Amino acid sequence: GQNIDQPTEMTATEGAIVQINCTYQTSGFNGLFWYQQHAGEAPTFLSYNVLDGLEEKGRFSSFLSRSKGYSYLLLKELQMKDSASYLCAVRDSNYQLIWGAGTKLIIKP
Amino acid sequence: GAVVSQHPSWVICKSGTSVKIECRSLDFQATTMFWYRQFPKQSLMLMATSNEGSKATYEQGVEKDKFLINHASLTLSTLTVTSAHPEDSSFYICSASFGGAKGNTEAFFGQGTRLTVV
């Protein structure tokens, strides 16, 4: 079956750096997405990786290794507003988005 | 980025009644829209894929007669929860992307609808 794993919850300090990992086993691969979701709201797009390597976008970066079925989202200079759930999603061979359960990130002052 | 508008943002209804949720792509044509359901502290679960002008494709375990999906135009898809029961209470989210089902861009999400059945 298809499976995406990411930690359930992480805690970090304001101003620090945090890395959220995601491993996947899917039937085919057509890209990996990271989304941010605040409680009670719809997800918002953060990043997209389809080739191996690092994609940087401001304070957020996302890395992909297709051979390892692994990605991470790196958040720098953490702010209180970054407290949210971070969802990893993989587009499979049928172009369906397969979602991870999300990682709840708690930022402490 | 592209805008997807979902309405209503929240609704409370009595058990046994039906509720319609609208999803509109405001500045692009979406040949395919997706409907998700999310229970508290759980991930997004795909319910169905809505194709303009044809019948929706439902995921296994989703009752097509209970969750009616209509994609009448390239900018509007609706989800009707018929004869709603308390266990249908959930957060319903629609999304759309460019290029239909095989678009390789990110999915744009509506604001979500919080349905509470009492």
If one counts every other C-beta atom within 10 angstroms of the C-beta of residue B71, the result is 22
Mutate to test the interface with B, among A3, A26, A41, A57 (most CBs of B within 10 A): A41
User: What is the helix (H) or strand (E) element at residue A70, kind and residue range?
Assistant: strand A70-75
Rounded Cα distance, A30 and A93, in Å: 6
- pLDDT reported for residue A8: 94
Question: Strand, coil or helix: what is A88?
Answer: strand
State the virtual CA torsion across B4, B5, B6, B8 in degrees, nearest 10. Answer: 170
Nearest chain B residue to A32 by CA distance is: B106
Mean pLDDT of B79-88: 96
Give the pLDDT confidence score for residue A95 in this predicted structure: 76
Q: Give the pLDDT confidence of A54-83 residue by residue, as tens digits.
A: 999 999 999 999 999 999 999 999 999 999
CB A48 within 8 A of CB A31: yes
Which residues does A56 contact at the CB level (< 8 Å), separation at least 6? Answer: none
Residues B92/B112, Cβ–Cβ less than 8 Å = yes
**Residue whose tokens read 């297709």:** A66
Residue that the structure tokens 């409370």 belong to: B12
Record: contact A42-B93, CB cut-off 8 A = yes
d(CA A73, CA B66) in angstroms, rounded, equals 38
Least confident piece of the model among A11-15, A44-48, B10-14: A44-48
B87 min Cα distance to partner chain A (Å): 18
B114 CB neighbours in chain A (<8 A) are 40
Is A30 in contact with B106 (Cβ distance < 8 A)? Answer: no
| B118: Cα within 13 Å, side-chain hemisphere | 4
In this structure, the number of other CB atoms found within 10 A of the CB of residue B100 comes to: 16
**8 Å CB contact of A33 and B107:** yes
| Chain A residues near residue B43 by CB distance under 8 angstroms | 87, 99-102
Q: What is the mean pLDDT of chain A?
A: 94
| CB < 8 Å to A87, chain B | 43-44
C-alpha angle A29/B55/B95, rounded to 5°?
Answer: 50
Give the one of B43, B109, B110 whose C-beta lies nearest to A102's C-beta.
B43
Q: Are strands A70-75 and A53-57 parallel, antiparallel or unpaired?
A: unpaired
* Closest Cα in chain B to A48: B106
Does the pLDDT value for residue B116 go beyond 90? yes
